[in-house]
Chains A and B, each alone.
Chain A
Amino acid sequence: MSGSIIVKGARILGAESQDVLVRDGVIAQMGSDISEQGARVIDAAGLVALPGLVDLHTHLREPGFEQSETVLTGSRAAAAGGFTAVHAMANTSPVADTAGVVEQVASLGDAAGYVTVRPVGAVTVGLKGEALAEIGAMARSRAAVRVFSDDGKCVSDALLMRRALEYVKAFDGVIAQHAQEPRLTEGAQMNEGEVSGELGLAGWPAVAEEAIIARDVLLAEHVGSRVHICHLSTAGSVEVVRWAKSRGIAVTAEVTPHHLLLDEQLVRSYDARYKVNPPLRRAEDVEALRAGLADGTIDIVATDHAPHPAEDKDCEWASAAFGMVGLETALSVVQAAVVDTGHLEWTDVARVLSRTPAEIGRLAGYEQGIAVGAPANFTLYDDSVTSILEAGALRGKSSNSPYLSLSLPGRVVGTIHAGYATVLDGELVDEETVREAGGRRG
């Protein structure tokens, strides 16, 4: 009948096996040997159950760049990666700087039903860095925006950043800063250092990120606001955030899966799949980011899923677009980079990929994780398999993944969003079924 689900024998957060009964969108019961008449039974023996993953940094590209991704295709990629909520960045066309655009994105997300789509609002009109966008209108709209970001561009004007940090306090919002000093990175193509010097590619120096983070944590302290730093990529950034936290500044920070796994040596191939902003850094930076995530300096992992059509990557480096897709592979890359290396336990993964990003984004329902009475958002993950990533495993519209033909651990076997399945047996549930299930919920 109502679509109750019993998950049998999943290792909750990688610990002891339990059955989980999902009824009416919530976790109704946990324990052993649960049964219920008419419920769909999912055999999850040996699988790790994690709370539904929440991405604070996703580019869904719609409206305006539907050749790269749409809300629907990006939602499917997210579900396939074990996500149940994503925050859709504002650099669309038109820019998400008005209530109308954010409401449209949210309703496209609701209609698709695969994940909860939380629009991010622009900080400045048109991402131009000149005038504040209608932050209040977006916060009070049906989309209830809480995260504001000019991501892709840095709010580089110090006064504007100060005002934005102050203003969002009225709406319990947060500014998510893309930390990139623009003058220091004009024409930048890759991390500035030994490799850029050899390859003759214009450098993106670490200091261009670190200087903005240092400025912004001091601004946040001065005006008593919280600030979130997108995609930390350097060892120095970790140091600055660690110092800020030790002073009690309300800063949170994210790192992407790719910055936890890949380094700048890959650029030697001039293969534009490795072109991303901020750029891949040195191996020492990768190590510092892992350590920062492990000790809590870095709060969350966020994908910066950035789809681009083939023609924007199938070209010489300087002409190629920045960015890589990451929703489908996030959990596998996190396992490879920080779980299998001993930096994080599965309970930590639940924190950095679910509870804390939801908290930063003020998204309710993720406080308890997998617990009786909580909304049924979780994913079932097989951490014991290893496979070569093929393009077919990418479920979004674009295939600009740096991991293609690499061997990665793990596989998302099932995803439950708001009490209904979006992924079963490793395959996406079809669009109509998901749309109907989502509609019943609404």
Chain B
Amino acid sequence: MRHLLSTRDLTRDDAVAILDVAEDMADVSTREIKKLPALRGKTVVNLFFEDSTRTRISFEAAAKRLSADVINFAAKGSSVSKGESLKDTAQTLAAIGADAVVVRHGASGAPQVLATSGWIDAGVVNAGDGTHEHPTQALLDAFTIRRRFFGTDARGRDLAGLSVVIVGDVIHSRVARSNAWLLTTLGASVRLVAPPTLLPVGVNTWPVTVDYSLDDSLAKPADVVMMLRVQGERMNAAFFPNAREYSRLWGLDDARLAGLGEGTIVMHPGPMNRGLEISSGAADSARSTVLEQVSNGVSVRMAVLYLLLSGEREDLA
């Protein structure tokens, strides 16, 4: 694997292979010594143009467990604000000798520009770009679902037969996009639920179904309910009237939680707005995978870095 820029261009076999390597990495994490020498001598740069402590420390932990050297580079400002440009930053990292760059950027497509510009040779991992994609989040979500439903039988399997409901601010969500592509590639059926204002034009061409009503959608069987973070300031741009109405119509509250089928799990990429899109009851219930998602995130990111940096980078195998 040369870069990981999106889930849209991953094949089913690519994705299953990443998840299987992540299983191996998860095994490492249960050992007394949680460290492999696999990437000794490799340099991984976490290049974060946006604050995201959670994603950054997850990548940092992943790289360190593989014995890579880690440099954290928080680049404030952008070429817009006449700070250092993406190009200058990339060339600086190339000069330092980065082998992989994990990039978080507010502009959709910035990791792709970095990977294709010729400014730097390093492998590029998209750690979230604007409202485009967040592929490692989707991979860790898929990993979490696979483990919950197939346990020790998970290796080699995809998600065929499972149904996933993704609820909330789809239009602004890179998590929703990456999950819509990846989970359907893996054979799951995906239903998006949101007010029409928070769905992108053209969503009808996605390989998903769309519901405006959360209650109607939850009346149908669902294995997974994934709640997306909703930013309160959206109401100022007339996406919805106010937080109370949003919560009443599209929030996973205690009543909706109680109505879920027996095996249904509840996911959230974090950070959560308790009381807005998800109640504390739902967030803290046994159905919730929120903390598993965090720990699985390290395993999945170890797998991605390993596949990017060890041996033949062109091949997943």
Q: Is this pair of chains taken from one and the same complex? A: yes
Q: A: which residues have CB within 8 A of B?
A: 189, 192-203, 205, 269-271, 311, 314-319
Contact present for A315 and B177 (CB under 8 Å) = no
Q: Which of these, B130, B202, B203, contacts A195 with CB under 8 Å?
A: B202
Asked whether A311 lies within 8 Å of B177 as measured between CB atoms, the reply is no
Bound together, the chains give a CA A380 to CA B119 distance in angstroms of 41
* In contact, B205 and A318 (Cβ under 8 angstroms): no
Contact indicator B203/A197 (Cβ below 8 Å): yes
The 3 A-B residue pairs with the shortest CB-CB distance, nearest first, are A270-B109, A197-B200, A200-B132
How many Å lie between the Cα of A195 and that of B112 in the bound state?
Answer: 16
16 extra A-B contacts, CB within 8 A, seeds A311-B85, A316-B105: A192-B201, A197-B201, A197-B205, A200-B129, A201-B109, A203-B200, A203-B201, A205-B201, A269-B112, A270-B112, A314-B117, A315-B79, A316-B107, A316-B113, A317-B110, A317-B113
10 example contacts (A-B, Cβ-Cβ < 8 A) are as follows A196-B202, A197-B205, A198-B177, A199-B109, A203-B200, A314-B87, A314-B117, A315-B85, A316-B107, A319-B79
> Using an 8 Å CB-CB cutoff, how does the interface string of B111-133 with A read, 1 for contact, 0 for none?
01100110000000000011111
Task: Report the minimal beta-carbon distance from B168 to chain A, rounded to whole angstroms.
Answer: 15
Contact A317 B87 (CB under 8 A): no
Alpha-carbon distance A247/B174, docked complex (angstroms): 47
In the complex, the answer to whether A315 meets B200 with C-beta atoms within 8 Å is no
* A200 contacts B174, C-beta separation under 8 Å: yes
Measured in the bound complex, the distance between the Cα atoms of B80 and A175 in whole Å is: 32
Partner of A270, one of B79, B113, B171: B113
A194 with B202: in contact, given A318-B130, A319-B107 (CB under 8 Å)? yes
Interface assignment of B247: CB less than 8 Å from any CB of chain A: no
Distance in angstroms from A66 CB to nearest chain B CB is 19
Task: Please determine whether A201 and B201 come into contact, CB atoms closer than 8 angstroms.
Answer: no
Q: Which of B78, B86, B108 contacts A200 (CB 8 A)?
A: B108
Q: How far is the CA of A192 from the CA of B202 in the complex (A)?
A: 8
Chain B, 25-57, CB within 8 A of any chain A CB? none
Complex Cα–Cα for A230 and B85 (A): 33
Nearest to A189 among chain B residues (CB) is: B108
The answer to whether B86 touches A316, judged by C-beta atoms less than 8 angstroms apart, is yes
| Residue contact B129 to A319, C-beta cutoff 8 Å | no
A319 to B132, CA, bound (A): 15
Give Cα A15–Cα B86 distance, bound, in whole angstroms.
Answer: 53
A199 touches B132 (CB 8 A): yes
State the Cβ distance, B217 to closest chain A Cβ, in Å: 20
By a CB distance below 8 angstroms, the chain A residues around B8 are 198
A317: B residues at CB distance < 8 A: 107-110, 113
- Of the residues A195, A200, A311, A314, contact of B133 by C-beta under 8 Å: A200
On whether the beta carbons of A318 and B106 are closer than 8 Å, the reply is: yes
A270 CB contacts on chain B under 8 angstroms: 108-110, 112-113
Taking a contact as CB atoms closer than 8 A, the residue among B113, B133, B203 that contacts A315 in the complex is: B113
B109 CB to nearest chain A CB (Å): 3
Please state if A196 and B109 are interface contacts (CB–CB under 8 Å): no
Residues in A with CB closer than 8 Å to B86 are 315-316, 319
Nearest chain-A residue to B117 (Cβ)? A314
Given contacts A195-B202, A196-B201, contact A319 B108 (CB under 8 A): no
Asked whether A199 lies within 8 Å of B108 as measured between CB atoms, the reply is yes
Cα distance, A202 to B206, chains bound together (Å): 17
Q: B78–A319 contact, CB under 8 A?
A: yes
Chain B residues 59 to 89 lying within 8 A of chain A, measured CB to CB, are 78-80, 85-87
Asked whether B87 lies within 8 Å of A197 as measured between CB atoms, the reply is: no
CA distance A189 to B130 in the complex (A): 12
Chain B nearest CB: distance from A205 CB in Å?
A: 7
Least distance between A263 CB and chain B CB atoms (Å): 15
Which among B105, B109, B203 has the greatest number of chain A C-beta atoms within 10 A? B109
Nearest residue in B to A312 (C-beta to C-beta)? B79
- A203: nearest chain-B partner, CB-CB: B201
Please, which residues of chain A bring their CB within 8 A of the CB of B205? 194, 197
Q: Which chain B residues border A314 with CB–CB below 8 Å?
A: 85, 87, 117
Complex Cα distance A271/B171, Å? 22
Chain A residue nearest to B203 (CB atoms) is: A197
CA distance A270 to B203 in the complex (A): 20
What residue of chain A has the Cβ atom nearest to residue B171's Cβ? Answer: A197
- Cβ-defined contact, A316 with B201, below 8 A: no
What residues of chain A lie closer than 8 Å to B177, measured between beta carbons?
198, 200
- Residues facing A in B167-221 (CB within 8 A) are 171, 174, 177, 200-203, 205-206
Name B200's closest neighbour in chain A (CB-CB).
A197
Shortest CB-to-CB span from B91 to chain A, Å, is 11
Residue of A whose beta carbon sits closest to that of B108: A200
CB distance from B272 to the nearest CB of A (A): 22
The smallest beta-carbon distance between A207 and chain B, in angstroms, is 11
Question: Whole-angstrom distance between the alpha carbons of A197 and B203 in the complex?
Answer: 7
- Cα separation A198 to B180 with both chains bound (whole Å): 10
B78 proximity list for chain A (CB < 8 A): 316, 319
A200 with B85, Cβ < 8 A, contacts A193-B202, A316-B107 known:
no
Interface string of B272-306 (1 = CB under 8 A from A): 00000000000000000000000000000000000
* Distance between Cα atoms of A269 and B202 in the complex (Å): 19
Residues of B within 8 A of A311 (CB): 79, 85
Q: How far is the CA of A315 from the CA of B201 in the complex (A)?
A: 26
Q: In the complex, A202→B112 CA distance in Å? A: 17
Q: How far is the CA of A194 from the CA of B206 in the complex (A)?
A: 9
B24 to chain A, nearest CB (A): 32
Residues of A within 8 A of B130 (CB): 200-201, 318
Q: How far is the CA of A195 from the CA of B109 in the complex (A)?
A: 13
Q: What chain A residues lie within 8 Å of B108 (beta carbons)?
A: 189, 199-201, 270, 317-318
| C-alpha gap A284/B87 in the complex (Å) | 35
Residue of B nearest to A311 (CB): B85
- The docked-state distance in angstroms from the alpha carbon of A203 to that of B201 is 9
Give complex CA distance A189, B109 in Å: 12
* C-alpha gap A269/B5 in the complex (Å): 12
A265 nearest CB across to chain B (Å): 13
Residues in chain B near residue A269, CB distance under 8 A: 112, 116
CA distance A203 to B203 in the complex (A): 13
> B202 to chain A: closest CB distance in Å?
4
Minimum CB–CB distance for B248 against chain A, Å: 27
Complex Cα distance A317/B8, Å?
19
Tell me which residues across on chain A come within 8 A of B174, comparing CB atoms: 200
* Nearest CB in chain A to that of B237: its residue: A186
Q: What residue of chain A has the Cβ atom nearest to residue B85's Cβ?
A: A315
Which residues on the A side are within 8 Å of B116 (C-beta)? 269
- B129: A residues at CB distance < 8 A: 200
- Across the interface, A198 reaches (CB within 8 A) one of B107, B117, B202, namely B202
Compute how far the CA of A196 lies from the CA of B133 in the bound complex, rounded to whole angstroms: 13
- CB neighbours (8 Å) of A196 from chain B are 200-202
> What is the distance, in angstroms, from B137's C-beta to the closest C-beta of chain A?
14
Question: Is there an interface contact between B109 and A316, defined as CB atoms closer than 8 Å?
Answer: yes
Chain A contacts for B203, CB-based, 8 A: 197
